[in-house]
Structure 1
Amino acid sequence: MRFKKTLLLGTAALTVLAALTLPAGRPAFAASLTEVTSFGDNPGGMRMHVYVPDSRPANPPIVVAMHGCGGSGPGFYSGSEFAALADRHGFIVIYPSAMQEAGFGKCFDTWSAAAKRRGGGSDPVSIASMVAYAGRQYGGDQNRVYATGSSSGGMMTQHLLAVYPDLFRAGASFMGVPYDCFANAADYPPGASRCTGGAMNRTPQQWGDAVRQAYPGYTGPRPRVQLWHGTNDTLVPYSLLQESVEQWTDVAGLSQTPTSTDTPQAGWNRRRFADATGDVRVEAYAVQGAGHTLPSTGMAAAAVAFFGLTTPPSTPPSTPTPTPPNTPTPTPPVTGACRVTDAINAWNTGLTSAITIANTGTARVDGWSLSFTLPAGQTITSGWNATYTPSSGQVTARNAGHNAAIAPGASVSIGFQATHTGNTAAPSSFSLNGAACTVA
C-alpha cells in the first residue's frame, strides 16, 4: 500500500516541480496551446491539445508528448520543454490527456487487450487520430511522427512504437516500461503489479516476440528508440530499463552488447546500439542518482536531437542591401552543389551544433562525407545521424544508413555535442565529398 500512495504523490509532485523549474524558453510572440474537441475516431475518450509554433516549415514534423498518471496534456505542456523546442525547431506538439482511471489518477491505457493490437481501440487509436488531424489541419508530415512521454506517458511511448511502427519513426521514453509489460487492468498499479513490482524478467526474444505480435505480418522498418531511467527510481524500477533495452534491441536485430558507451553530460551514462551501417537504433540513458523525476532540464532537447529535429525552422530571406551605383557586383566563388546551415547552442563549457546539408545540384548524392574544421578548443563528445572522426581539428562526418541519399533539392540534418574552452564559433570550410559548400 505504501507503493500506491508514493506513486500518486510522486507523480503529482513531479508535475508541480517541473512547472516551477522549467527554464524560460518561449518568446513572448509564440503561439498558444489550443484544444481540439473533434479530431476523429476517439475510442479512448481522450482530450487533445496541440501547440503549433508560429515559425515552421510547410510540412512540419509532429511530436506526441504524453504526461504521467494524474497529469494532463496542458500540465505536460507547462511542465516540460517541448513547446520551447518547437518554437526553436519548427515542429508541432500534440499533448493528449488520458481519461482512463487507474485508481490514483488518469493514465494511458497500456494494459487492455484492445490497446495491445494495431487498430484495436482504446488510447492508441485516439492518438493515431490526433496525428492524422494534425496532418489535415496543419500540414503535419505523416512521415515524420515521433512519440515521447514521462512515466505513464513513457509507457505509452513504447506501446505506440509497438502497435504503430508504420506511423512513428522514433520515440523517447522517460521512466517507461517495455511493451506488454502489464498483463491486464488488474496488473496495472496500484494493484499488485508484476510489471512494476521489480521482478519482471523475460528473455530478449520473448520481449521482441511481444512487439512482433502487436502488428502481425508487418515487415517494414522499425522505429528508433531512446530510453531514459533514473538509477534511484523505485516507483517504476530502474531494472525495467534493461528489459526495455532487451526488447528493442531484439526487435532491431541487434546484439545485447552496446556498440559504444559514453557520458554526454555529467550523470548521464549512455549505451548506444548501432546497426552494421553505424545507424544508432537504440540508446539507453541511466541517469545517476535520479528518482522518478524525469525528464529534467536538457533531456527533452536530447530527445528532439535523437529524432533529428534540431534544424531551426526556415525564415523568410532578409531584404538585400542595394548595390551602390557604379559598384561592380562581386563574382561568387565557385563551389560544389551543396549548401550548409549550422545552428550553435552553447552553454558554460558545452555546445550543440545542428547542421543541415542541402543538395543544390541536379544529381542525386548516394553516400556522402562532410568535412569541416572544428574551432580550436572544441572536442566532439557525441553526435547524431552521422559518425564523426576524429573528434577535433579537421573532422569528417559520414552518413548513417537511413540518410545516405540526398535527392536534388533535398537536405539531411545531422549534429553533434561538443565541449569547448571558450570558443563557441561554428565550424568552417565545409566540403561535401570533396567539393566546397556554400554556408548560409
Structure 2
Amino acid sequence: MLYSTLLAIPAFAATAFSAQLTQVTNYNNNAKAKPGMWVYVPDKIQTDALVVAIHSCQSSAQKYFANSKIPWHQGSDRKGYVTVWPSSTTECWDVSSKASLSHDGGGDSNAIANMIKYAITQYKIDPKKVYVTGGSSGAMMSNVLAATYPDLISAISLYSGVPAGCFVSASGAAAAWNNTCSGGQSTASAQKWGDVVRGMYPSYNGTRPRMQIWHGSVDGTLSPKNYDETIKQWTNVFGVSGTPTSSKPDTPERNYRMDDFGGNVEGIWAVGVGHSVPSHLDASEAWFGL
C-alpha cells in the first residue's frame, strides 16, 4: 500500500552523496510504544526544517527510504533539510487505540512526537518548521499526529488516508484494521469529525497544522469517501466552509483537481487514480514552504 512519486531529478544521477540513513537508538522515548527512529541528515544542511516521512503498512523506515518511489531523501539532498523516518513494530501504525489517539497517551503517536522533540534539539530544528507526510497507514498516522500533537507540527501533506479517529477500535486494540472505515461507511457531520480531533487533545487551543490531503477517485483499499470525510473534519477544525474558495483543474497534473478551503486546508482529488496516488514532492514541499 505504497504510493508512486515523481521522476527522479536528473542531477541526482550524476551526484554522489555520502549521507546515510542512520538509526537513533535512544531518542528519549518515554511512551509504551517503541517504534524505531531513523534519521537522514544531508551532506549539506541548508535549512533548519524537519520532514517526518511515515511509511505505509508492511513496510519499515529502511524499506520506505530505499523505495525509489518515495522522494523525501531526494528532496533532503536537494534542499538540505533533515528527515526523520519512524519505523513501526507492527504491520500497520496504531491509529486505533486510545493510547495512540490521545495526547501523551503512550501509543505510536506519542513515540513519534518524542522523535520530533529529539530531532528539534539534536539537529537544531526551528520548532515552527516541522512537517509530516505519509502514505496509506502513514497518512492515517499523519492525521492522528495533527490531532494529538498540533503544537509540534506546522503542516501535513498526506496521501491516501482516512480521517483522524476513523480507525478507532471498539475493543481498544492497537493497530487494528477497521473495515467500516476503510470501506467508506464511517460518515459523520463536519462538527462530529471536528469534535473527534478536538477530543484527542481537549486542553489545546493553539494553532493547528495546515492540512494538504490527497486521494484517488478509484482507491480500492481506503474508499474515496474518506477524502470527503477528511475534508469535512479539517474544514470544521479550522472553522471554514466545506465549499472550496478556489478550484484548479488539471493541477498539479492532468486529471487532478486542487481545491483550497481558505489558507489552511487543501485537497487534491486524483481522477482515475487508485490507492497509489503518486507522491508529488514539489507540491508537498511548496505546501510546507520548503
Q: Structure 1 length normalisation: TM-score?
A: 0.61
The structure in which a higher percent of residues are strand is 1
| Contact 2:20–2:40 (CA under 8 A) maintained in structure 1 | yes
Once superposed, which parts of structure 1, at least 4 consecutive aligned residues long, lie more than 6 Å away?
Answer: 187-190
The answer on 1:93 being equivalent to 2:87 is no
Using the TM superposition, give the Cα deviation of residue 294 of structure 1 relative to its aligned residue in structure 2, in angstroms: 2.6
Q: Indicate the residue corresponding to 2:121 in structure 1.
A: 136
Q: Indicate the residue corresponding to 1:146 in structure 2.
A: 131
1:36-86 superposed Cα distances (whole Å, 9 cap, x missing partner): 1111114221111111112224x6111110111001111111220011111
Q: Indicate the residue corresponding to 1:60 in structure 2.
A: 48
Using the TM superposition, give the Cα deviation of residue 189 of structure 1 relative to its aligned residue in structure 2, in angstroms: 8.4
State the SS of the aligned residue for 1:249: helix
| Contact 2:94–2:174 (CA under 8 A) maintained in structure 1 | no
State the SS of the aligned residue for 2:62: helix
State the SS of the aligned residue for 1:115: coil
Matching residue's letter, 2:284: A
The answer on 1:292 being equivalent to 2:275 is yes
Matching residue's letter, 1:291: G
In the alignment, the residues of structure 2 paired with residue 188 and residue 170 of structure 1 have an alpha-carbon distance, to the nearest angstrom, of 26
Q: Indicate the residue corresponding to 1:282 in structure 2.
A: 265
Q: Indicate the residue corresponding to 2:193 in structure 1.
A: 207
In the alignment, the residues of structure 2 paired with residue 234 and residue 188 of structure 1 have an alpha-carbon distance, to the nearest angstrom, of 23
Q: Indicate the residue corresponding to 2:103 in structure 1.
A: 118
Compared CA separation, residues 191 and 167, structure 1 to 2 (3 A): closer
Aligned residues between the structures: 282
Using the TM superposition, give the Cα deviation of residue 217 of structure 1 relative to its aligned residue in structure 2, in angstroms: 2.2
Q: Indicate the residue corresponding to 1:75 in structure 2.
A: 63
The answer on 1:51 being equivalent to 2:40 is yes
The answer on 1:184 being equivalent to 2:165 is no
Matching residue's letter, 1:233: D
State the SS of the aligned residue for 1:133: helix
1:35 to 23, 30, 40: 23
1:231-285 superposed Cα distances (whole Å, 9 cap, x missing partner): 11010011100000000000001011100000322121111011xxxxx110101
Q: Pick which of 30-39 and 61-70 moved more.
A: 30-39
Using the TM superposition, give the Cα deviation of residue 193 of structure 1 relative to its aligned residue in structure 2, in angstroms: 2.0
Higher relative contact order (CA 8 A, sep 6+): 2
In the alignment, the residues of structure 1 paired with residue 140 and residue 66 of structure 2 have an alpha-carbon distance, to the nearest angstrom, of 20
In the alignment, the residues of structure 1 paired with residue 61 and residue 21 of structure 2 have an alpha-carbon distance, to the nearest angstrom, of 10
In the alignment, the residues of structure 1 paired with residue 63 and residue 32 of structure 2 have an alpha-carbon distance, to the nearest angstrom, of 22
Matching residue's letter, 1:144: K
Q: Which is higher, the Rg of structure 1 or of structure 2?
A: 1
Matching residue's letter, 2:104: G
The answer on 1:221 being equivalent to 2:204 is no
Compared CA separation, residues 25 and 291, structure 1 to 2 (3 A): farther
CA RMSD of aligned residues (A): 2.2
Q: How does 1:326-345 map to 2 (within 5 A)?
A: none
Using the TM superposition, give the Cα deviation of residue 183 of structure 1 relative to its aligned residue in structure 2, in angstroms: 2.4
Using the TM superposition, give the Cα deviation of residue 143 of structure 1 relative to its aligned residue in structure 2, in angstroms: 2.0
Q: Pick which of 29-38 and 219-228 moved more.
A: 29-38
Q: Indicate the residue corresponding to 1:302 in structure 2.
A: 283
State the SS of the aligned residue for 2:120: helix
In the alignment, the residues of structure 1 paired with residue 94 and residue 212 of structure 2 have an alpha-carbon distance, to the nearest angstrom, of 21
Using the TM superposition, give the Cα deviation of residue 171 of structure 1 relative to its aligned residue in structure 2, in angstroms: 0.3
| Contact 1:131–1:142 (CA under 8 A) maintained in structure 2 | no
Using the TM superposition, give the Cα deviation of residue 122 of structure 1 relative to its aligned residue in structure 2, in angstroms: 1.1
Q: Indicate the residue corresponding to 1:258 in structure 2.
A: 244
State the SS of the aligned residue for 1:95: strand
State the SS of the aligned residue for 1:232: coil
In the alignment, the residues of structure 2 paired with residue 295 and residue 32 of structure 1 have an alpha-carbon distance, to the nearest angstrom, of 25
State the SS of the aligned residue for 2:182: coil
State the SS of the aligned residue for 1:194: helix
Q: Indicate the residue corresponding to 2:179 in structure 1.
A: 193
In the alignment, the residues of structure 2 paired with residue 145 and residue 24 of structure 1 have an alpha-carbon distance, to the nearest angstrom, of 28
Q: Which structure 2 segments of 5+ residues have no match?
A: none
Compared CA separation, residues 126 and 25, structure 1 to 2 (3 A): farther
Q: Which structure 1 segments of 5+ residues have no match?
A: 1-10, 101-105, 275-279, 310-440
Using the TM superposition, give the Cα deviation of residue 218 of structure 1 relative to its aligned residue in structure 2, in angstroms: 1.2
1:89-142 superposed Cα distances (whole Å, 9 cap, x missing partner): 221110101112xxxxx1111100111111111111111111122122221222
Q: Indicate the residue corresponding to 1:395 in structure 2.
A: none
1:378-406 superposed Cα distances (whole Å, 9 cap, x missing partner): xxxxxxxxxxxxxxxxxxxxxxxxxxxxx
